[in-house]
Structure 1
Amino acid sequence: MSRSVTFAALILSCLSALTAVAEAVSWPWHPTGPGDVCKLIAASVSSASEVHYPNATSYDFDNYHFASSSSQSSECSVEPGTAEDVAAIVSATRTPFAIKSGGHNTNPNFSSTTGVQIALTRLNNISIDPTAQTATIGAGLIYDEVYAALEEHDVMILGSRATGIGVGGFILGGGYSFLSNEYGLTVDTVRAFELVLPNGTISAVTDTSDPDLFWALKGGHNNFGIVTQFTMDTFPIGQVWGGSVMLPTTDYDAVKNATLHFWNNAADPKADVMVGFTAAQNQTLIEVDLFYDGPAPPEGLFDGFMDIPDAAQNMSAMTVRSYLSMVQSAGTNATAGMRGYFDTVSITDLSSSFFDAVLNETTYWYRTLSSEVPDVVVHYDVEPFLQNVYSHASADSSAWPPRRDQHFTPMLIYYGWTSPNNDELINQVMQQSSRTLTELAIGEGQDVSNTPLYNNYALYSNPVESMYGDSLGRLRQVRARYDPWRIMDLAGGWKF
């Protein structure tokens, strides 16, 4: 059943509130800019919500992003505490706005603005339905909070493999998890979205209530309104095994052989591997993350990694632990506060020569940039998911990925730096590097010309066609039906 707040009722409410505010502050009847809209919002929302202004601690928190290049100084920030207040905010806001869940999107203007910053942090509810085997979670939570709560009930949802990630953007973009080989993408496990539409309607969107909108929200981000909570499938969880270690490049050949062996032979859906290269402070290190959904992996599964001589002294990090402890084991927040961009390349095979090229891109661009950008951090990783990772849902079950008939796996590319003077240089370098790796994959015979890029990793300069492919036409139709006024175009993100 949908909970409906009619647009007319909201307008009357806003006008009533505006009249009261106008009597006190003598401002125009129609808000003329973000500052007026902030005052209108403050007068329209309930006591469950709050508006903050510059120099307030909460304002700084609401505008903060993992990458400082993604943070902006908004006119005000608003923390809605209810879906009804989100509806009031949407109805009042006709100036640029942004929606922030966790703040890890590194694309400028995607979840930040100089207008009205909507921070969903107060939408932090968590409830578990053991009979339905679901969990309902607020869109303002970070996964660390969700994992901690669910572990107490021996269940888990699919979600981020890194600490500090907000649930909102992660789920709406697709979502790869340590459990994806076992259960699919995070969007494959969504049962329902609570969505505030641009007309102020609050609706529970499911595959039966509105199949087109449900499909579009599964990968289509914020183009259809503001999601305030998600109902997700839960899965049994106990102690897991794994961890993260850093190794010297003298172990490169052994790591490469172990990774290629896993790519070509692994079939256990409980296993997951990530291997990355990080160049910073005049050295390059190899990061190996191993995961197994159980207290111990089967004998031989990770031997190629565990038998690396230099790794033996560090492999104490690979241990039995909670799922939350596993997610927090890697130092993924080490560069928080620096400027930064993500990008991605999708590959369908992992050869020895391609693996060599990934390391070469890491070291080459670090050496090339380090004289001009002395504090630069360069990171590339490969994520060898199993061949059947997309088979857990039907072919046309989600807007992203736009195709499931092809096995592909995303690479994560990350550059960090501190000076805004280097923003354009880094953007150009990352585009060039992504092209180099894509052309190499094509040269090796990989059919990646129509392979979708992972939108949660993709750099802002990538065209939406490269991510959504054949889904774009249907996405535009759904957007036209639910947002003919193009209100959500005032917010950042991938736009269709």
Structure 2
Amino acid sequence: MTREVRGPADSVLTAFSPRERRDAENLDLFSHNVSTVRHSHGGFNTNRGHLCKFGRQGLGTKADIVEQCLAVHSALRGRVSFPNSTVYQASLESYFSAQENSVQPQCIISPQTTQDVAMAVQILTAKNHMANLPSSSCSFAIRSGGHTYFAGAANEPGGVTIDLSGLHDITLDVSSGLVSVGSGASWGSVFSELSAANLGVNGGRSGGVGVGGLTLGGGISFFGPRYGWTCDTVTNLEVVLGNGTIVNANAAEHAELLWALRGGTNNFGIVTRVQLKTFQQGDLWGGQVVRNITTSDEQILAIANFSDPDAYDEYASLITTWAYDGSADLSVIVNNMEYTKPVADPPAFHTLANMPSLSSTQRITNITSLLSETDRGNPEGRRQGSATVTIDATVGAIAAAVGAWNASVPQIRNVSGIIWALIMDILPPQLYARHAEANALGLEDRHNKTLIILQLTATWDLASDDDTIEVARKAVVEAVHRDVGAVGGLDAFSYINYAAVWQTPFLGYGRASVERLRKVQQEYDPHGVFTDLVPGGFKLPRG
């Protein structure tokens, strides 16, 4: 039985099995690890190259990684937890997908301050800055909200996971209209704080999603048609670089890093704090309307009409989902219609609103109520999957995508607990083009057309069905590429926050953006810490 380590260095041995202790002692780990960790002028000094080496040719031995955990534990008392401890288990259980919460790192670091993160990074990457050291290697993961679907995105198997959920403070500066948020905070907590002051922010649509991950991948908001991507409304990012240095990226300093982090995800550093613009916001109108699958043709026409960029109402936001529920053997269409003013039945939604429905929760309410409604439809702890394609908002392209999804239902019908969905996020140019040159997403040349981001999602019960789901999901993506491409409605962009582990979303940013991102990476992460030691998420294509 293992337990959480909180005591002096000598007691660290009791956290591991007798065999593990013997292995560690034979490697002379514990007699040196604590004495080599020093706080000196805010830095980390070492007199022995005992930590994990740069590179991922092979994961270091368990003893190597345990020693790394112990070194961080010595520097950050009470911030490191080990398997079977309460803190460790709570962190794992808070991941969104069952795949991620089944990953077992050797330890979890739970920083409470940016300085904690910096110290941990200095220790974890110490060997990167030393020469002629042994060639063991290990890796670590960075977790903000833990909402990515696939295993290993923000949790490192057999390695080290840095859980940023302790960085959750929210500070509002009323005079400047800016809110500063720890990257481990959830959007639900941010909106709850701001709503009390009748303010809003261009944040996520699910309360449980973390601020850091969504923002660095772009971020789609109910308020997006008015303000752009979530990342477009960021004015400052506090970042811990690969050598433990803390910098602020904003328009005045490290502006290229700010640009890169607006869509470049975890390839440059660990973002510990996000500063965003706020705006006046009271109640709004929204909710979910469920309709019979027989309205599919009408839905397709209505979505195309709603998406007209020349007539688009910037207060309107639409998500439409074709969903199959295996427990009921039933397919339905769900419209999430939000209008960010307290106006019931706004003209922007008249066509959709006049269709017959099975149920509706549309009402004038507050943003936190809408976020809670989204969360109830996406329970944590189940097996989850996602993939993405971007298409034009034309009748032909939408119909082809729906046809590909509909044809796939028989392949997954017998999967236990299956919910199989094709989700359409409407992306008018008012959203993606508003600040296109200020982010790395590469959408500045789309010439005033509305796009639709497709997200193919699956929720199911059993790991034994993983392969069935993966084969079906890949087949739908291939069919969408083929059939939508045949009508000239395919777009190269891939929204990285929806991408499957086998997709390559950075290629959809375009060559110019990727080359610029590489230059920023070379400047701010010259040793490749966030390329090689942080394997989770999506990495920039190598030149």
Q: Does 1:96 align with 2:143?
A: no
Which residue of structure 2 lines up, in the alignment, with residue 271 of structure 1?
316
Stretches of structure 1 lacking an aligned partner (at least 5 in a row):
1-5, 19-29
User: Helix, strand or coil: the match of 1:223?
Assistant: coil
- Please state if 1:86 is matched with 2:117: yes
Cα deviation code 1:237-257 (max 9, x no counterpart):
001001112222233344334
Q: Secondary structure at the match of 1:310?
A: coil
Distance across 1 between alignment mates of 2:443 and 2:348: 32
Alignment match, 1:374: 416
Query: 2:342: which partner in 1?
Result: 295
CA deviation map 1:60-83 (0-9, x unaligned): 222232111223011111110011
Deviations 1:89-124 (A, max 9, x none): 111114311111111101321111121111111101
Change (3 A) 1:225 1:59: same
Tell me the secondary structure at the aligned position of residue 301 of structure 1: helix
The whole-number CA distance in structure 1 between the counterparts of 2:399 and 2:445 is: 28
Asked if 1:484 corresponds to 2:526, the answer is yes
C-alpha contact (below 8 Å) 2:200/2:281 kept by paired residues: yes
2:267 matched residue in structure 1: 223
Say yes or no: does 1:51 pair with 2:80: yes
Q: Which is further off, 476-485 or 75-84?
A: 476-485
Counterpart check, 1:442 vs 2:494 = no
> Secondary structure, in 3 states, of the residue corresponding to 1:204?
strand
Root-mean-square deviation (CA), in Å?
A: 2.5
- 1:466–1:418 Cα change, 3 Å: farther
**Residue identity (%):** 26
For residues 65-464 of structure 1, the aligned pairs below 5 Å read 65-71=95-101, 72-94=103-125, 95-114=138-157, 115-264=159-308, 266-281=311-326, 282-297=329-344, 299-311=346-358, 314-315=359-360, 317-330=361-374, 333-351=377-395, 353-371=396-414, 373-393=415-435, 395-401=436-442, 403-406=444-447, 407=449, 408-446=451-489, 448=491, 451-464=492-505
Quote the Cα distance in structure 2 between the aligned partners of 1:163 and 1:438: 32
Amino acid at match of 1:458: A
> Deviations for 1:189-246, whole angstroms, at most 9, x for unmatched residues?
0000000111111111112201211111111111111110001011110010011122
Per-residue deviation at 1:347? 0.9
Q: Distance in 1 between matches of 2:470 and 2:41?
A: 45
* Cα distance between partner residues in 1 of 2:408 and 2:210: 30
Give the Å deviation of 1:328. Answer: 1.9
* 2:44 aligned residue: 11
Deviation at 1:266, TM superposition (A): 4.3
Following superposition, the deviation at residue 8 of structure 1 comes to 8.0
State how far apart, in whole Å, the 2-side matches of 1:411 and 1:108 are: 21
Q: Report how far residue 331 of structure 1 moved.
A: 5.1
Q: Deviations over 1:391-412 (max 9, x none)?
A: 321x431112454534433111
Letter in 2 for 1:453: S
Whole-Å separation in 2 of the counterparts to 1:324 and 1:338:
23
Contact 1:80–1:122 (CA under 8 A) maintained in structure 2: yes
**Is the alpha carbon distance of 1:280 and 1:172 closer, same or farther for their aligned partners in structure 2, counting shifts above 3 Å?**
same
* 1:409-444 C-alpha deviation (Å, 9 max, x unpaired): 311110122333333342232222112112222211
Deviation at 1:9, TM superposition (A): 4.9
Which of residues 33, 37, 40 in structure 1 aligns to 2:71?
A: 40
Aligned amino acid, residue 287 of structure 1: V
Distance in 2 between residues matched to 1:31 and 1:289, nearest whole Å? 48
Measured in 2, the distance between the counterparts of 1:385 and 1:475 equals: 24
Instruction: Give the 3 Å change call, closer, same or farther, for CA 32–487 of structure 1 in structure 2.
Output: farther
TM-score, normalisation: structure 2? 0.81
Q: Distance in 2 between matches of 1:131 and 1:299?
A: 33
What secondary structure does 2:482 align onto? helix
Q: Is the 8 A contact 1:126 1:136 kept in 2?
A: yes
Q: Residue type of the partner of 1:422?
A: D
Distance 2:443 2:180 in 1: 26
- Do 1:100 and 1:117's aligned partners in 2 also have CA atoms closer than 8 Å? yes
Q: TM-score, normalised by structure 1?
A: 0.89
Listed one character per residue, the Cα deviations across residues 118-154 of structure 1 (whole Å, up to 9, x for unaligned) are 1111101101112211100001111001100011111
Distance (Å, rounded) in 2 between the aligned partners of 1:415 and 1:7: 50
SS across alignment from 2:494: coil
The farther-off stretch of 358-367 and 149-158 is 358-367
